[in-house]
């Protein structure tokens, strides 16, 4: 209310309408903070591994985002996870490198990860996938080696696109299918790449091509 007793107007006509609008519109501040945390965590961990000479490759949603951003930054899908492909033989070296940065190793239901000592939440940890090993019992193909990685525009090592697409098609969860569609939408999955896939993975890819959103 103004000094002369008049109700102050807002772009929505009245404070009551303004308040109602604010209740209806999502508050994206939490999501923005989560994305920023993931970016800082990714940079912190990959820089430490690179400085120590430990081979790794970023996989999962951040790898898809890096590839999509190389074509169209506006098409990038935000992700809350940090997934890293490493060799099991390097686990002790990773402990030595990441420990001083405040990370501790943890095995959560068979999934190895590094969590922050100050906030040991598995949901916000660095999830590890071990190279050249079967990730889940029903999988047919072993995870690739981090040697199959290349430097991304963002500066970290990202898994080569054919290997990343194969991992996504092998897993084929809802999020994996969404990631494949993201790569398709910017033209990154070419006929040449498709020809490199095993027959069963090409069949999965074709099922997505046959049922576009």
CATH of the domain at 47: 3.30.460
pLDDT-based confidence at 7, cuts 50/70/90?
very low
Q: Is residue 1 domain-resident?
A: no
Count of domains forming the chain: 1
Given a cut of 70, whether residue 58 has pLDDT beyond it is yes
The predicted model gives 65-70 an average pLDDT of 96
Residue 37: predicted pLDDT = 87
Domain range for 33: 29-159
| Over residues 146-164, mean pLDDT | 95
Assigned domain for 13 exists: no
Both structure tokens of 198: 């095993």
Residue 170 domain-assigned (yes or no): no
Residue 186 included in any domain: no
pLDDT of 33 strictly over 70: no
**CA–CA–CA angle 57, 63, 66 (5° rounding):** 120
Task: Write down the residue that tokens 């790569």 correspond to.
Answer: 183
The pLDDT mean for the chain works out to 89
Candidate from 54-58, 120-124, 126-130, 155-159 with smallest mean pLDDT:
120-124
pLDDT given at position 65:
96
**What pLDDT, on the 0 to 100 scale, is given for residue 12?**
53
Distances (CA, A) of 136 to 5, 42, 61, 149: 68, 24, 18, 22
Q: 210 in a domain, yes or no?
A: no
What is the distance between the alpha carbons of residues 186 and 99, in angstroms, rounded to a whole number?
A: 39
> Could you give the percent of the chain with pLDDT greater than 90?
76
Under 8 Å between Cβ of 197 and 141: no
For the segment 75-127, what is each residue's pLDDT rounded down to a tens digit? 999 888 899 999 999 999 999 999 999 999 999 988 999 999 998 999 889 99
């Amino acid at each position: 209310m103004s000094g002369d007793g008049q109700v102050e107007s807002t772009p929505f006509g009245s404070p009551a309408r303004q308040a109602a609008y604010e209740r209806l519109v999502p508050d994206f501040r939490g999501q923005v903070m989560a994305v920023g945390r993931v970016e800082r965590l990714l940079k912190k961990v990959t820089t430490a591994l690179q400085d120590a000479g430990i081979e790794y490759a970023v996989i999962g949603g951040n790898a898809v985002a890096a590839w999509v951003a190389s074509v169209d930054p506006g098409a990038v899908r935000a992700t809350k996870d940090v997934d890293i492909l490493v060799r099991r033989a390097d686990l002790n070296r990773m402990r030595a490198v990441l420990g001083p940065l405040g990370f501790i190793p943890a095995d959560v239901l068979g999934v190895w990860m590094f969590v922050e000592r100050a906030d040991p939440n598995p949901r916000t940890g660095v999830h590890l996938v071990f190279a050249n090993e079967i990730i889940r019992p029903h999988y047919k193909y072993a995870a690739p080696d981090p040697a199959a990685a290349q430097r991304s525009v963002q500066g970290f090592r990202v898994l080569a696109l054919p290997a990343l697409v194969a991992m996504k098609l092998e897993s084929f969860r809802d999020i994996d299918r969404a990631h494949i569609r993201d790569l398709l939408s910017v033209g990154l999955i070419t006929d040449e790449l498709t020809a490199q896939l095993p027959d069963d993975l090409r069949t999965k890819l074709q099922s997505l091509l046959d049922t576009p959103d």
